[in-house]
Structure 1
Amino acid sequence: MAAQPDASPWISFSLERVAWMLGARFPGRHVWLVCPSRLHLQKFSCYSNFVSCDVFGAPKHSPDYGAVRHLRALLGHATERAAIAEPLPPQGSCSVPAPLPTGFSLILVGFSKGCVVLNQIVHELASARTDPHLRQFLNSISDMYWLDGGHPGTGDTWVTDKQALRELASSGVAVHAHVTPYEVCDPARAWVGREHRRFVKTLQELGAHVTQNLHFKDEPVCIANHFRVIEEF
């Protein structure tokens, strides 16, 4: 980041420093940061290992791309490589999955473009639950945090499909939506704010445990506050 003119102003939010921030936010937990599979022009994150996307990372969601399966495999490999006492067992072929490690639970956090991964997981909930291994894994998710989601596309910044949101609401997962005016109050991208409001309203109507917070609403709109939401949520 230090060597890139566009990235150097934000080095205080580097991968390593964000890891420390999340460690402080969730003390006593293992923190895993997942990088995008590629960077277009060294700045457009593309999470194509989780969701179909164009060259700039704008997603095209589907009901069974494989994001849940990929996340489970990724965490299983990571816990094994880190020599954690009880690693996440590999997904087997038998119908009865091996038990998860004692006390295993997940909190998923997406920031900015990374929120497309959370959105894809929501779109996959119905299909993933038909697999006993993935259903067990999904049942371990306690909370999901959307932090100022955004991408260069012209829609699908927030999940608005009611059936997908019904699956999320019925899962019992606590949903947290933290936004800033940089994303949800931009008149040039008015759909982002509309989708965010619809996301929250629909989940509330469906009885989900959902909280929302608009940060820095009394401050000038700026990209700096977009990053600062990582510190404030």
Structure 2
Amino acid sequence: MSKLELGPAGILPHSAASLGIFQPEKGTGQELLEGEWTDEDKVYETAAVKLLSRRNPTLFPGPMIVWGWNEEARHKAELSLQLVKEVPGMNIIPMPDYRPIYPKIDPEAVINPCHPNLTVLHNKIQVCVLIGVHCHFANITLKMIRANTNCYTQAWCAYDGHEDALLSIRDLDSAKLIKMTETIKRVRQSMTPWAETPEGKEELEEIAAMKAQNKAEEKESAVLFKGELHEGIPDSE
């Protein structure tokens, strides 16, 4: 079976399926790791190591979690927030909608649905998790990120999983999210997370200072119109 390699893979990377990479069958106790069927426990441990060791770990929650459309979605959202707390310095950038956002998108507030690689590059993200993103859009997003970034993509999918992620977990439910959180806690005891290294601390301080400087105005003091409105076309005499 072909092995999926970390990007950047070029402007038109081959899809994982075209490389002969497919998801393991449900209930086999295996998940997909860099294009290879691997024991589930090893995949969970690898996911934890990557989240703890690579630069600017980020969770990308999609509409199926962000919108809280049923009790299961809300419960997964709560468990996701608990997991993020176990990864020092982990950020959350949602993808609440897939429609283009014009004229400008804030890449620190929301992931760009049409050019997710730009959000990854802007925030210098080297490991990310897609969760609650509809499968058809996750496939596109994963290819674009792999095309021209070195981000280690993880897809935690409630359905069949995603071949184009470097690490894919299928049939994600609350029990699997809890297992992932427990794995992160265990792995963290034997290593120094990126956010707690001198380089990580320095970068996170710089990010915090930048966000404070660019913080939006408070609602009460915001000026709705900062420029003069143009006059209309004068009536003809």
For the criterion TM > 0.5, the same-fold answer is no
Q: Higher helix share goes to which structure?
A: 1
Structure scoring higher RCO (CA < 8 A, sep ≥ 6) equals 2
Structure-1-length-normalised TM-score:
0.32
Query: Which of the two has higher C-alpha Rg?
Result: 2
Structure-2-length-normalised TM-score:
0.31
